[in-house]
Amino acid sequence: MSALSGIKRFVLWDFPRAGWQYDVIVALILAFIFLTPRDFFRDQPKPSQVIMMPSEHGANVYWMEPELLGGVPESERPSKAAVLIRNRTHKKQDVVRLETIFDAEKDIKGYMAYTKP
């Protein structure tokens, strides 16, 4: 019954603040926080896939990751981009121009969407 009582006290945090048991539990919690590798939780920060860039000539400019428009036919890409931007900004914006950005090997790196409200 003593082991069950000890577990109950541990779970309910039933130790006096200045006691050694309290200090041991705090040390265990801190060790868990600082010594557990980030990969253990598979919780990596994910950047936004639609990013607002500095505007030019009154138009808003958005960078879009290539996988967002990858399977979309070229004729439908501006309307799909407008929907993605509307979901991100919660404002209706028309895509005036959509540029495909390539790298040196001619792989698609992303899209630049130019919009007007």
Q: What is the pLDDT along the chain (117 residues), one digit of tens a residue?
A: 578 887 888 788 787 888 888 888 889 999 999 998 877 877 666 666 888 877 767 778 998 988 888 888 988 999 999 998 888 888 888 888 899 999 899 898 999 998 887
The CA distance from 38 to 23, in Å, is 25
In three-state secondary structure terms, 83 is helix
| pTM, entire model | 0.56
5 Cβ partners below 8 Å, 6+ apart? none
Residues forming a β-bridge with 110: 101
Helix ranges, the chain (H): 2-11, 20-35, 77-89
